[in-house]
């Protein structure tokens, strides 16, 4: 019994070590209007941007991303989702949907790889076609309840959420993808078809909020 109690205490402490109350924000549900649409963020272009400015006739795609997470940038055996960003931007542009990448890793600034200088270099290296903005103090991520990098949110022309979660079902290899969740959601929306699923579990590194 003594060893069982010790084991339970160790397990409890280990579990609590991974719980950060600052990450406990409720994620937007389908049908919810985008929050903080007038909130201005600095972008790698040197301009201030907001969701209202970037939305287009048929809506807006918001993707929380960063420069440091292997689910974004890849590893020796994992492509990462970043290499699919420009294709998604082209798809959105063709359907008059705006798009933005948002870096909310406040705790990894200024020396952790996610400050504005790092973002500018990353945008240039990867030749991002979409706006890449810095979310000061994770304000937009908190309002969205964004959990990971990446975590995507697709809004319709009224800026109501119609899909959120992950890009597809295989971060390791684009060639091995079987379920293109985000792409399907975009195409079905434009064609007036039901989006199914409207939500998938976000997969990636936790957003590094301050504190």
Residue 49 lies in a domain: yes
Residue 15 lies in a domain: no
Residue 2 lies in a domain: no
Residue 44 lies in a domain: yes
Tokens of 105: 């890793």
Q: Which residue has the higher pLDDT, 5 or 123?
A: 123
Residue 14 lies in a domain: no
Question: What is the reported pLDDT for 16?
Answer: 31
Residue 145 lies in a domain: yes
* pLDDT tens digits along 58-114: 999 999 999 999 999 999 888 999 999 999 999 999 999 999 999 999 999 988 999
Residue 44, SS3? coil
* pLDDT tens digits along 46-59: 999 999 999 999 99
Q: Cis peptide before 15, with omega less than 30 degrees from 0? A: no
Residue 18 lies in a domain: no
Look at strands 60-65 and 41-43 and give their pairing.
unpaired
Give the CATH number for residue 44. 3.40.30.10
Residue 165, SS3? strand
Gap between the Cα atoms of 112 and 101, Å rounded: 18
Tokens of 162: 């119609």
Residue 75 lies in a domain: yes
Q: Which domain holds residue 133?
A: 27-206
- Total domains in the chain come to 1
- Strand extents, DSSP E, 10-59: 41-43, 48-49
């Amino acid at each position: 019994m003594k060893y069982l109690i010790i084991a339970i205490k160790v397990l409890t402490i280990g579990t609590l070590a991974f719980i950060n109350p600052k990450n406990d924000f409720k994620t937007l549900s389908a049908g919810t209007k985008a929050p903080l649409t007038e909130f201005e963020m600095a972008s790698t272009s040197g301009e201030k941007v907001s969701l209202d400015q970037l939305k287009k006739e048929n809506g807006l795609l918001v993707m929380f991303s960063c420069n440091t997470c292997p689910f974004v940038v890849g590893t020796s055996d994992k492509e990462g989702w970043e290499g699919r960003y420009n294709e998604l931007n082209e798809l959105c542009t063709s359907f008059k949907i705006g798009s933005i990448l948002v870096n909310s890793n406040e705790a990894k600034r200024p020396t952790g790889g996610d400050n504005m200088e790092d973002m500018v270099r990353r945008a240039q290296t990867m030749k991002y076609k979409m706006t890449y903005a810095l979310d000061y103090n994770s304000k937009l991520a908190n309002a969205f309840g964004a959990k990971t990098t990446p975590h995507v949110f697709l809004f319709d022309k009224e800026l109501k959420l119609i899909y959120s979660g992950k890009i597809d079902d295989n971060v390791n290899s684009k060639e091995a993808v079987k379920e293109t969740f985000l792409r399907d959601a975009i195409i079905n929306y434009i064609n007036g078809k039901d989006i199914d699923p409207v939500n998938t579990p976000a997969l990636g590194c936790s957003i590094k909020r301050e504190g």
